[in-house]
Amino acid sequence: MQIFLDSTDTKVIADLASTGLVDGVTTNPTLIAKSGRPMLEVIAEICDLVPGPISAEVAATTADAMIAEGKKLAAIAPNVVVKIPLTRDGLIACAAFADEEIKTNVTLCFSATQALLAAKVGATYISPFIGRLDDYGFDGMDLIRDIRAIYDNYGYETEILAASVRHAAHVKEAAIIGADVVTIPPAVFAELYKHPLTDKGLEQFLKDWASTGQSIL
Protein backbone atom coordinates (compact mmCIF):
# COMPACT_ATOMS: atom_id res chain seq x y z
CA MET A 1 0.00 0.00 0.00
CA GLN A 2 1.27 3.45 -0.89
CA ILE A 3 1.50 6.13 1.81
CA PHE A 4 0.74 9.75 0.93
CA LEU A 5 1.08 12.74 3.27
CA ASP A 6 -1.92 15.01 3.64
CA SER A 7 -0.12 18.30 4.16
CA THR A 8 1.13 21.53 2.62
CA ASP A 9 3.89 22.08 5.19
CA THR A 10 6.91 21.80 2.92
CA LYS A 11 9.40 21.59 5.80
CA VAL A 12 7.54 18.65 7.31
CA ILE A 13 7.10 17.01 3.91
CA ALA A 14 10.82 17.32 3.19
CA ASP A 15 11.70 15.81 6.56
CA LEU A 16 9.34 12.84 6.25
CA ALA A 17 10.20 12.27 2.58
CA SER A 18 13.81 11.72 3.67
CA THR A 19 12.67 8.43 5.25
CA GLY A 20 11.95 6.99 1.80
CA LEU A 21 8.46 6.06 2.96
CA VAL A 22 6.46 8.88 1.37
CA ASP A 23 4.99 7.90 -2.00
CA GLY A 24 2.97 11.07 -2.67
CA VAL A 25 1.16 14.06 -1.19
CA THR A 26 -2.44 15.26 -1.11
CA THR A 27 -3.54 18.84 -0.57
CA ASN A 28 -6.88 20.62 -0.36
CA PRO A 29 -8.14 24.21 -0.16
CA THR A 30 -8.23 24.12 3.65
CA LEU A 31 -4.57 23.07 3.88
CA ILE A 32 -3.59 25.69 1.29
CA ALA A 33 -5.41 28.37 3.31
CA LYS A 34 -3.57 27.31 6.47
CA SER A 35 -0.23 27.58 4.69
CA GLY A 36 -0.83 31.27 3.97
CA ARG A 37 1.09 30.94 0.70
CA PRO A 38 0.13 31.12 -3.00
CA MET A 39 -1.28 27.76 -4.09
CA LEU A 40 0.72 27.36 -7.31
CA GLU A 41 3.95 28.12 -5.46
CA VAL A 42 3.20 25.53 -2.76
CA ILE A 43 2.28 22.81 -5.24
CA ALA A 44 5.40 23.44 -7.31
CA GLU A 45 7.62 23.19 -4.22
CA ILE A 46 5.96 19.96 -3.08
CA CYS A 47 6.39 18.48 -6.56
CA ASP A 48 10.12 19.15 -6.31
CA LEU A 49 10.30 17.46 -2.91
CA VAL A 50 8.32 14.31 -3.72
CA PRO A 51 8.50 12.70 -7.18
CA GLY A 52 5.28 10.74 -6.64
CA PRO A 53 1.68 11.88 -7.25
CA ILE A 54 0.82 15.31 -5.82
CA SER A 55 -2.90 16.10 -5.63
CA ALA A 56 -3.87 19.73 -6.25
CA GLU A 57 -7.56 20.59 -5.98
CA VAL A 58 -9.64 22.82 -8.24
CA ALA A 59 -11.78 25.54 -6.66
CA ALA A 60 -14.38 25.83 -9.42
CA THR A 61 -17.82 24.18 -9.26
CA THR A 62 -18.77 23.98 -12.96
CA ALA A 63 -17.32 21.41 -15.32
CA ASP A 64 -15.85 23.91 -17.80
CA ALA A 65 -14.20 25.94 -15.07
CA MET A 66 -12.87 22.80 -13.37
CA ILE A 67 -11.33 21.70 -16.66
CA ALA A 68 -9.67 25.10 -17.15
CA GLU A 69 -8.31 25.15 -13.59
CA GLY A 70 -7.25 21.53 -13.78
CA LYS A 71 -5.21 22.09 -16.93
CA LYS A 72 -3.41 24.97 -15.26
CA LEU A 73 -2.64 22.85 -12.21
CA ALA A 74 -1.49 19.91 -14.34
CA ALA A 75 0.94 22.22 -16.14
CA ILE A 76 2.84 22.88 -12.90
CA ALA A 77 4.68 19.55 -13.00
CA PRO A 78 4.30 16.07 -14.55
CA ASN A 79 3.44 14.50 -11.18
CA VAL A 80 0.44 16.75 -10.43
CA VAL A 81 -2.87 14.92 -10.01
CA VAL A 82 -5.93 17.13 -10.48
CA LYS A 83 -8.25 16.78 -7.51
CA ILE A 84 -11.97 17.30 -8.22
CA PRO A 85 -15.11 16.98 -6.08
CA LEU A 86 -17.53 14.10 -6.53
CA THR A 87 -20.36 16.11 -8.04
CA ARG A 88 -22.15 15.84 -11.38
CA ASP A 89 -19.91 18.52 -12.86
CA GLY A 90 -16.89 16.94 -11.23
CA LEU A 91 -17.61 13.64 -12.96
CA ILE A 92 -18.01 15.39 -16.30
CA ALA A 93 -14.66 17.11 -15.78
CA CYS A 94 -13.08 13.82 -14.73
CA ALA A 95 -14.16 12.17 -17.98
CA ALA A 96 -12.65 15.06 -19.94
CA PHE A 97 -9.37 14.75 -18.06
CA ALA A 98 -9.31 10.99 -18.65
CA ASP A 99 -9.65 11.61 -22.39
CA GLU A 100 -6.58 13.85 -22.23
CA GLU A 101 -4.68 11.40 -19.98
CA ILE A 102 -4.56 13.89 -17.11
CA LYS A 103 -4.52 12.04 -13.80
CA THR A 104 -7.35 12.76 -11.35
CA ASN A 105 -8.23 12.28 -7.70
CA VAL A 106 -12.00 12.39 -7.16
CA THR A 107 -12.53 13.56 -3.61
CA LEU A 108 -15.32 13.81 -1.01
CA CYS A 109 -16.60 10.31 -1.68
CA PHE A 110 -19.08 9.03 0.90
CA SER A 111 -20.88 6.19 -0.89
CA ALA A 112 -20.06 3.14 -2.99
CA THR A 113 -22.31 4.34 -5.82
CA GLN A 114 -20.33 7.58 -6.00
CA ALA A 115 -17.15 5.52 -6.23
CA LEU A 116 -18.68 3.40 -9.00
CA LEU A 117 -19.44 6.50 -11.09
CA ALA A 118 -15.93 7.87 -10.57
CA ALA A 119 -14.43 4.62 -11.83
CA LYS A 120 -16.75 4.62 -14.85
CA VAL A 121 -15.50 8.04 -15.96
CA GLY A 122 -11.86 7.03 -15.57
CA ALA A 123 -10.75 8.52 -12.25
CA THR A 124 -7.16 7.68 -11.37
CA TYR A 125 -7.93 7.76 -7.64
CA ILE A 126 -11.11 7.79 -5.56
CA SER A 127 -10.89 9.34 -2.09
CA PRO A 128 -13.45 7.92 0.38
CA PHE A 129 -13.50 9.95 3.60
CA ILE A 130 -13.49 7.31 6.33
CA GLY A 131 -12.95 9.56 9.35
CA ARG A 132 -15.84 11.85 8.50
CA LEU A 133 -18.15 8.86 8.10
CA ASP A 134 -17.04 7.65 11.54
CA ASP A 135 -17.89 11.11 12.92
CA TYR A 136 -21.49 10.68 11.79
CA GLY A 137 -21.95 7.26 13.32
CA PHE A 138 -21.08 5.14 10.28
CA ASP A 139 -18.17 2.73 9.87
CA GLY A 140 -15.90 4.29 7.26
CA MET A 141 -14.19 0.96 6.68
CA ASP A 142 -17.44 -0.52 5.39
CA LEU A 143 -17.20 1.94 2.51
CA ILE A 144 -13.64 0.84 1.72
CA ARG A 145 -14.82 -2.79 1.68
CA ASP A 146 -17.74 -2.02 -0.63
CA ILE A 147 -15.59 -0.06 -3.08
CA ARG A 148 -12.91 -2.76 -3.11
CA ALA A 149 -15.55 -5.41 -3.92
CA ILE A 150 -17.13 -3.34 -6.70
CA TYR A 151 -13.82 -2.45 -8.33
CA ASP A 152 -12.64 -6.05 -8.16
CA ASN A 153 -15.95 -7.30 -9.61
CA TYR A 154 -15.54 -5.24 -12.76
CA GLY A 155 -11.81 -4.82 -13.05
CA TYR A 156 -11.82 -1.05 -12.60
CA GLU A 157 -8.32 0.42 -12.50
CA THR A 158 -9.24 3.38 -10.28
CA GLU A 159 -7.15 3.20 -7.11
CA ILE A 160 -8.77 3.47 -3.68
CA LEU A 161 -7.14 6.31 -1.74
CA ALA A 162 -8.35 6.14 1.87
CA ALA A 163 -8.66 9.72 3.14
CA SER A 164 -9.76 11.53 6.30
CA VAL A 165 -7.56 9.14 8.27
CA ARG A 166 -7.53 9.85 12.01
CA HIS A 167 -5.19 7.23 13.53
CA ALA A 168 -2.91 4.29 12.87
CA ALA A 169 -5.77 1.79 13.26
CA HIS A 170 -7.40 3.32 10.17
CA VAL A 171 -4.20 2.69 8.23
CA LYS A 172 -4.02 -0.93 9.39
CA GLU A 173 -7.67 -1.64 8.55
CA ALA A 174 -7.39 0.03 5.14
CA ALA A 175 -4.35 -2.10 4.36
CA ILE A 176 -6.11 -5.31 5.43
CA ILE A 177 -9.15 -4.51 3.28
CA GLY A 178 -6.97 -3.72 0.29
CA ALA A 179 -6.96 0.05 -0.19
CA ASP A 180 -4.31 0.97 -2.74
CA VAL A 181 -3.25 4.17 -1.00
CA VAL A 182 -3.74 5.90 2.33
CA THR A 183 -3.20 9.61 2.83
CA ILE A 184 -2.37 10.64 6.36
CA PRO A 185 -1.48 13.75 8.38
CA PRO A 186 2.14 13.90 9.59
CA ALA A 187 1.05 13.11 13.16
CA VAL A 188 -0.47 9.80 12.05
CA PHE A 189 2.69 9.00 10.07
CA ALA A 190 4.61 9.13 13.36
CA GLU A 191 2.12 6.73 14.97
CA LEU A 192 2.90 4.05 12.39
CA TYR A 193 6.41 3.29 13.65
CA LYS A 194 6.06 4.09 17.35
CA HIS A 195 5.32 1.45 19.98
CA PRO A 196 6.06 1.56 23.74
CA LEU A 197 7.51 -1.96 23.72
CA THR A 198 9.92 -0.96 20.97
CA ASP A 199 11.11 1.97 23.09
CA LYS A 200 11.39 -0.21 26.18
CA GLY A 201 13.32 -2.92 24.35
CA LEU A 202 15.73 -0.43 22.82
CA GLU A 203 16.33 1.17 26.21
CA GLN A 204 17.31 -2.22 27.65
CA PHE A 205 19.51 -3.10 24.69
CA LEU A 206 21.41 0.19 24.99
CA LYS A 207 21.83 -0.25 28.74
CA ASP A 208 23.22 -3.74 28.30
CA TRP A 209 25.53 -2.63 25.49
CA ALA A 210 26.90 0.24 27.57
CA SER A 211 27.74 -2.25 30.35
CA THR A 212 30.09 -4.12 27.99
CA GLY A 213 32.30 -1.07 27.52
CA GLN A 214 32.64 -1.92 23.84
CA SER A 215 32.49 0.27 20.75
CA ILE A 216 31.60 -0.88 17.24
CA LEU A 217 33.60 1.91 15.59
Helix (H, G, I), strand (E, B) or coil at 22: coil
Q: Which residues pair with 182 in a beta bridge?
A: 3, 162
Interatomic CA distance for residues 81 and 98, integer angstroms: 11
The dihedrals phi and psi of 164, each to the nearest 5 degrees, come to: 55, 45
Question: For the chain, first and last CA: distance in Å?
Answer: 37
Residue 82, H or E segment: strand 80-85
Q: Which residues pair with 125 in a beta bridge?
A: 105, 159
The answer to whether residue 71 is catalytic is no
Among residues 11, 34, 71, 83, which one is catalytic? 83
Interatomic CA distance for residues 111 and 115, integer angstroms: 7
Residue 210, Cβ neighbours under 10 Å: how many?
9
Nearest alpha-carbon partner for 1 in 24, 18, 19: 24
Chain centroid offset of residue 106 CA? 11
Q: Pairing between strand 104-109 and 159-162? A: unpaired
Residue numbers annotated as active site: 83
